Homo-oligomer: A and B are copies of this chain.
Amino acid sequence: MAIRKQQKEETRTRIINVALTLYGENGFVHTTTAEIARAANVSHGTIFVHFPTQKDIFISVINAFGSQIATRLHDLLAENASVRDVFAAHLKGLIEFEPFYSRLVSEQSLLPLEARDTLVMIQSCVSFHLGQAIERQFCAQDDRALPIHLIFNGWIALIHYYLANHDLFAPGESVLKNCGKELLAYYCQLITKSFSQANPC
């Protein structure tokens, strides 16, 4: 019976992985439960055995995605990283999940709140490391200093903006691969200069 359980778990996992791929390829809105079933080689009904509701599929997928990317980011975000290192790691991590992440950002407004939660989780992770890096790198946080949450939001915003307009900045390719370096350089320059002027410590 353990075999049964294992098989079920395997089916569930397959559905999630297939859904994750389809969501990335066609977007959440244009991915039907029937398509997922077909791609996962299970019956349409099976989908609803594992996930009572379409929303549940989504939640499971996004959770799976969340864990994967969190793990990956954890690995990438080394201790004692510089600000640039943090951003670079973040980019590297996102690039590995770009299609899905991109859809997530683009269609966020139409998705259950869990989508937001996962994004927040990912960002907390990076944000935390960024905070440490900034503290290390730029001594104190005096009054004139830039608030970390804005620095971070500015960075996230930039990435999301480029992802949302990927067909404008890198049609048919990975925006993050194409523009990541430029964004990184730009944003680091911006931050660094601001800080160095504010806190030459």
Report Cα–Cα, A66/B133, bound state, in Å: 42
Count of residues in A whose CB is under 8 Å from the partner chain:
36
Residues of B within 8 Å of A196, CB to CB, are 197
Q: Is there a chain B Cβ closer than 8 Å to A164's Cβ?
A: yes
Complexed CA–CA distance, A50 and B108 (Å): 32
Contact (A110, B107) CB under 8 Å given A150-B182, A160-B161, A193-B194: yes
Q: Which residues of B contact A120 (CB under 8 A)?
A: 168
Of A147, A157, A164, most B-chain CB atoms within 10 Å:
A157
Residues in chain B near residue A106, CB distance under 8 A: 108-110
Q: How many copies does the complex hold?
A: 4
Whole-angstrom distance between the alpha carbons of A29 and B107 in the complex? 11
Q: Which of A149-201 contact B (CB under 8 A)?
A: 150, 153-154, 156-158, 160-162, 164-165, 168, 182-183, 186-187, 189-191, 193-194, 196-198
A193 — which chain B residues lie within 8 A by C-beta? 193-194, 197-198
User: Does A139 interact with chain B (Cβ within 8 Å)?
Assistant: no
Q: Does any Cβ of B come within 8 Å of A27's Cβ?
A: yes
Cβ of A14: which chain B residues have Cβ within 8 Å of it? none
Taking A27-B109, A107-B109 as contacts, is the C-beta distance between A153 and B161 under 8 angstroms? Answer: yes
User: With A109-B106, A193-B193, A196-B197 in contact, do A154 and B158 touch (Cβ < 8 Å)?
Assistant: yes
Say yes or no: is A146 at the interface (Cβ < 8 Å to chain B): yes
A186 touches B108 (CB 8 A): no
* A161 to B163 CA separation, bound complex (whole angstroms): 12
Kindly provide the distance from the CB of A110 to the nearest chain B CB, expressed in whole angstroms: 6
17 new A-B contacts at CB < 8 Å, known A116-B165, A156-B161, A160-B160: A27-B110, A29-B110, A106-B110, A107-B109, A107-B110, A109-B164, A120-B168, A150-B182, A150-B183, A153-B158, A154-B157, A154-B190, A157-B157, A160-B161, A160-B164, A190-B191, A194-B194
